[in-house]
Amino acid sequence: MHKEGQLKILFVINPVSGGKAKADWEAQIRSFMRDSPHTMEFFLLTGDADDSSVAHHIEQVQPDRVVAVGGDGTVKLLAELLKERRIPLGILPAGSANGMARELGIPLDVVSALKVVTEGQKKAIDLIRVNDEEICIHLSDLGLNAMLVKYFEGSAHRGMWGYGKAIFRVLWQKQKIYAAITTDNGTLRRKAYMIVLANARMYGTGANINPEGDVADGFFEVVVLRKLNLIEILKALFTNRSFKRERIEVISTRTVQIRARKRTYFQVDGEYRGRTREVSAAIMPGALLLMLPQEREV
């Protein structure tokens, strides 16, 4: 039985995130928790049926909190398992890209992030249900960025060199999407370089695609990038500058149906999902409980 004030915390570690060994993360967590009243459990992801394995472990352990020790992919995996449950999810940013942690103001250093896990505030955030198949916690899109994700995943060069090569390959092709976009406000027909489903404001690179975004307002935004300027795209990709308002169109909605004239590249939370002509999405208000810094408003 729990003592008063004692929490059982399950740490789910992705051992390949951020280049640090699993033992290093576990040692730092144990060091921080040594003098705390809380108990710890550790689960190591293997890449083999992780979703079912973690789900089974959560049922066995019955934790008070679950912590993603990894990047955006680990956060996404646990968000899928914990959605519409009242078990809070903590984030220990340990990936090469920690877009959602940055979005939520979660510190990137281990000690500060662990303090958020044990002492932070619980806050319910929205998720987006995509194609009745999976959730989007951060950002999904059709077009330019999804093509970039595909080319980067298939590149032999990693890091900024590989990313830069993928960017120039995408910008050289400049493929446009011709699509009908049906939201709560009606149907629009647009040609665009990118159509984004934005639960959040910015990509992991810092590109601010949805400056007014709020992950807890019961809506998501459909952002249509209608014009393309090479210099502005590069600035947006590598800084936290927003796209110029005259180049984008932002529609706040609870649902969307996108029908493209041709099959186009599609990604969800940084994972390439192939080429498609249709995407549907709907908001899941307050579906995920997170641990956030005490002073953080989302």
pLDDT at 33: 94
Query: For residue 209, which of 181, 249, 179 has the smallest C-alpha distance?
Result: 249
Output the CA torsion sign for 261, 262, 267, 273. positive
pLDDT (tens digit per residue) in 157-189: 445 545 555 565 656 567 799 999 999 999 999
pLDDT at 223: 95
- For residue 65 the two structure tokens come to 């909190």
State the average pLDDT over residues 22-44.
90
Say whether 128 sits in a helix, a strand or coil: strand
- Half-sphere exposure of residue 63: CA atoms within 13 angstroms, side-chain side: 25
pLDDT (tens digit per residue) in 230-283: 666 666 566 666 666 777 899 999 999 999 999 999 999 989 999 999 999 999
* Max Cα–Cα distance, the chain, nearest Å: 61
Whether 289 and 104 have beta carbons less than 8 Å apart is answered as no
Distances in Å between the alpha carbon of 215 and those of 125, 128, 243? 6, 10, 20
pLDDT at 87: 97
Percent of the chain scored above 70 by pLDDT? 82
State the average pLDDT over residues 71-94.
93
pLDDT at 232: 65
Domains of the chain: 8-119 (3.40.50.10330), 134-285 (2.60.200.40)
**pLDDT averaged over every residue in the chain:** 87
Residue 202 is given by DSSP the state: B
Q: Where are the alpha helices (DSSP H) in the chain?
A: 22-33, 50-61, 72-82, 99-104, 110-119, 144-153, 159-173, 230-238
**169 or 32, which is more confident?**
32
pTM (predicted TM-score) = 0.88
